[in-house]
Amino acid sequence: MSFPEELKYTEDHEWVLIEDDVVTIGITDFAQEQLGDIVFVELPEVGDSLETGKSFGVVESVKAVSDVYAPVSGEVVEINEELPDDPEVLNNSPYDDGWMIKLKLADSASLDELMDVSAYQEFVEKD
């Protein structure tokens, strides 16, 4: 299992890539492994406002259906158009091709609540 060092992580197993005031969000390698083969992905619309901790989408696998939560608040500026038609990309490339959404960050202070890679690795080992 891999956890890129440049990302931030949540206890709900989302990752966040910070690029100025836009953040890219997806699910971690740990999350996709726990879910198994992903068969369906539901994403928000561009222009939707998301609130920290609120569900913004759904990932369904052969094992389970799981909500995906916004790690920060902001406005959806882009979605990964490939995922609804090709959901297994989340299994094959959770950090690169499997990104889910991009948000224009509402409040950069909320980034302070996210875990760095070492804190996330410790969290996963306890899980």
Asked, for residue 126, whether it belongs to a domain, the answer is: no
Would 22 be classed as within a structural domain? yes
Q: Give dist(CA 99, CA 24) in Å, integer.
A: 7
The residues pairing with 107 across neighbouring beta strands, listed in sequence order, are none
In a domain, 26, yes or no: yes
- How many other CB atoms sit within 10 Å of the CB of residue 37? 12
Q: What is the pLDDT along the chain (127 residues), one digit of tens a residue?
A: 889 999 999 999 999 999 999 999 999 999 999 999 999 999 999 999 999 999 999 999 999 999 999 999 999 999 999 999 999 999 999 999 999 999 999 988 889 999 999 999 999 998 6
Count of structural domains within the chain: 1
CA distance 43 to 21: 21
Residue 87 within a domain:
yes
* 122 part of a folded domain: no
Give the range of the structural domain holding residue 78, as residue numbers without chain letter.
8-107
pTM for the whole thing? 0.94
CATH number at residue 30: 2.40.50.100
Q: Does a structural domain hold residue 93?
A: yes
**pLDDT at residue 127 in the model:** 66
Tell me if 24 is assigned to some domain.
yes
Q: Answer for the pair 96, 89: CB distance below 8 angstroms, yes or no.
A: no
Helices (H), the chain: 29-35, 89-92, 117-126
Q: Which of 11, 9, 77, 4 is nearest to 43 (CA)?
A: 77
Q: What is the pLDDT of residue 1?
A: 80
CA distance 9 to 25: 10
